[in-house]
Structure 1
Amino acid sequence: MKKYDVFGVGNALVDIIAFIDPKFLEKQKISKGVMTLVDETRQGEILADLHDIKKELRSGGSAANTMIAIANSGGTCAYTGKVTHDTYGEFYKKDMEDAGVFFETKPDKAGHTGTCVVLTTPDAERTMLTSLGISTSLGPEDIDLERLKLSAYVYVEGYLWDGDSTKKASELSMSEAKKNGVKVAFTYSDPFCVNRSREEFIRLTKEYVDVVFCNTEEGLALSGKTDPKEAVAFIGSLAGLVFMTAGKDGAYVCENGKVTLVPGFPVKPIDTTGAGDAFAAGTLYGLTHGYSNAKSARWGNYVASRIVQEVGPRLTIHLLGRQDEILKDFKD
């Protein structure tokens, strides 16, 4: 019996959320609707100009969002990311644990905890300015291998392939998982990640990965195909199980070369940020609680359909106990 359903590894970022007038973006010369990497000084300038606007804090990062949503469904998770001994770092740890996720880190005194200023305009579009801070220094020494061994799955985000030490931490997590009978789940994270690290992602998928998560754009980028079914089949030749989201149509599942489309839940989205993270959460919950692959994807589709009706990547409803009601009419 495993202590944790999933052991997550990823960037640890505090989201600083503010609702703004679009004129603020014009004033600060910020490109609307995109994520931009900024340094601490630039982010400080923006925050100073937001001093009269109410702000909310959330622990974040792609894989962290997934762990929180798994816990929301009733699963058990541990998460590893890098923060430091500052106000944001202390907040991050408490917020993760309040969300039901065991958060572990070996804090450094130097540097600052990574932050992402999330500016939301009345049209529900989000503009993000990210200062990665100390999150980029996550290294192999930060991975608690004993806790990893107590987990059914390890889940690693592709965003970590932007740094040498984070790459090493990720590959160590994967290799130790394989040695100890822990299944490896890997998300390709973003088409830009795939394009930058395509050959490495292919190698990792072949060598370590049991379960791949991606969206259609990422799948097409990795496979070099133009048809989604061909893309997911290509990735399925690298790993035994692949889940590829397809927006309102649901998600493709490829198991041992067989491709099926699991239908989604039609909703009117107001913010698609975090949809992929939520899908992975629901699917991993299913895989660790005895669901079939298709039923797991169906629950993943439901969790994703709920998150796109919220502003931000955190659900305001509790999913624990809703599975039977939502899935009662689903036939594999």
Structure 2
Amino acid sequence: MDMKNYDVFGVGNALVDIIALIDQNFLEKQKIQKGIMTLVDETQQGSILASLSDVKKELRSGGSAANTMIAIANSGGTCAYTGKVSHDAYGEFYKKDMEDAGVLFETKPDSSGHTGTCVVLTTPDAERTMLTSLGISTSLQASDIDIAGIQKAKFVYVEGYLWEGLGTKQASRLTMEEAKKNAVKVAFTYSDPFCVNRSREEFIQLTKDYVDVVFCNTEEGLALSQKSSPEEAIKFIGALSDLVFMTAGKEGAYVCEKGKVTLVPGFPVKPIDTTGAGDAFAAGVLYGLTHGYSNLKSARWGNYVASRIVTEIGPRLTVKLMGRQEEILKDFKD
């Protein structure tokens, strides 16, 4: 009998997302590079928020791995999440919002510093640009990791963004080591091309040593592999890890199983906001892998969850997907 309490135990930067719809001119006026994540300090972020004072904003508990845990819970899976928040209003909001979404969040808050925030600016072309003030999220360390929690999980899921800090990197490595010791599978997302470019050698070694399942998009895959086509890129990563899922926008996702590459088609939709699409895809896949689906069927469910998220503003689904898998996947043949 399976005594696992969680499908997935996630570790990441705990950030409150502040989501705003803006026009292209705003980015140009503020000299913000479009379509990527930029790290900013509190002062820079404060001045951006001041410029947005007349714009309607929405708050969400977020961070890449947190978005994935929330979407797994939405599909009907069970998750726990570890990330660092402060004893402040955003920190309290974060814990409550995670628990309301069905994710166990028990990391002890810290009283120094402020809870990390990410201003998510979405333009009419559905592109999202992120300005992140990591705040206290970077003080996550190995001692915050609940080893007993890892032992109770089928998978751990770690985000590449954690490689930006020494303590967060140690916490990630410990998570992977403990998972390996306890026969818990390790899933890792490369997170962003800038993470890959800064930590390429480490990511390659890590993938080889610990990672059972890799998540990336084509840009991240190309950055890691230094190849010129998505197919070559996924084969390069597939030589490091048995199972790789690489998203390819509206085309769907490539899956590499022990060197064999398949393109699993996406669901055609008109996107209004791509925030959290990769996180949602990973959630759908991890739901599938922990519920007896084949790798390709898991990718198809991942594509569906991602197709729903891009038709909403922000990285959170307003529709419940629990129990809808059979009806949505009924025509899918491996």
The runs of at least 4 aligned residues of structure 1 exceeding 6 Å deviation read: none
The one-character-per-residue Cα deviations of 1:241-260 (angstroms, maximum 9, x if unpaired) are 11111222211111122111
SS of the aligned residue for 2:326 comes to: helix
For residues 43 and 262 of structure 1, do their structure 2 counterparts lie closer, same or farther at Cα, with a shift above 3 Å needed?
same
Provide the residue aligned with 2:249 in structure 1.
Answer: 247
Give how far 1:137 is off: 1.0
Aligned to 1:228: 230
Q: Distance in 2 between matches of 1:9 and 1:96?
A: 13
Alpha-carbon RMSD across the aligned residues, in angstroms, is 1.6
Q: Is the 8 A contact 1:185 1:209 kept in 2?
A: yes
Query: 1:80 aligns to what?
Result: 82
Aligned equivalents of 1:256, 1:148: Cα separation in 2: 26
The amino acid across from 1:272 in the alignment is T
Match of 2:211 in 1: 209
Q: Which runs of 5+ in 2 are unaligned?
A: none
8 Å CA contact 2:7, 2:77 repeated in 1: yes
1:312 aligns with 2:305: no
Letter in 2 for 1:151: A
Q: Is the 8 A contact 2:154 2:184 kept in 1?
A: yes
Give the Cα separation in 2 of the matches to 1:125 and 1:301. 18
Whether the 8 Å CA contact 1:15–1:115 is kept in 2: the answer is: yes
**Given the alignment, which residue of 147, 156, 159 partners 1:157?**
159
The answer as to whether partners of 1:73 and 1:319 remain within 8 angstroms in 2 is yes
1:111-150 counterparts in 2 under 5 A?
111-150=113-152
Match of 2:20, SS state, is: strand
Q: Out of 176-185 and 220-229, give the one that drifted further.
A: 220-229
Give me the identity figure in percent: 83
TM-score, normalised via structure 2 length: 0.94
In structure 2, what is the Cα distance between the partners aligned to 1:73 and 1:61? 19
Aligned equivalent of 1:16: 18
Distance 2:255 2:216 in 1: 11
For residues 136-160 of structure 1, what are the alpha-carbon distances to aligned partners after superposition, in whole Å with 9 as ceiling and x for unaligned? 1111011000011100000000011
The answer (yes or no) to whether the contact 1:212–1:243 under 8 Å persists in 2 is: yes
For the 8 Å contact 1:124–1:311, the answer to whether it is kept is no
> Cα distance, 1:118 vs. partner?
2.3
1:277 CA drift (Å): 0.7
User: Which residue of structure 2 lines up, in the alignment, with residue 110 of structure 1?
Assistant: 112
Partner SS, residue 105 of structure 1: coil
Instruction: Describe the shift of the 1:15–1:269 C-alpha distance in structure 2 as closer, same or farther (beyond 3 A).
Output: same
Q: Which residue identity lines up with residue 240 of structure 1 in the other structure?
A: D
Bigger mean CA offset, 304-313 vs 138-147: 304-313
> Which amino acid is 2:4 matched to?
K
Deviates more, 1:304-313 or 1:59-68: 304-313
TM-score, normalising length: structure 1: 0.95
Structure 1, unaligned runs of 5 or more: none
1:168 is aligned to 2:199: no
Partner in structure 1 of residue 305 of structure 2: 303
Please, which moves more after superposition, 147-156 or 265-274? Answer: 265-274
Counterpart of 2:97 in 1: which secondary structure? helix
Deviation at 1:104, TM superposition (A): 2.2
Deviations, residues 143-200 of structure 1 (Å, cap 9, x unaligned): 0000111000000000111111111000000000000011000011111111111110
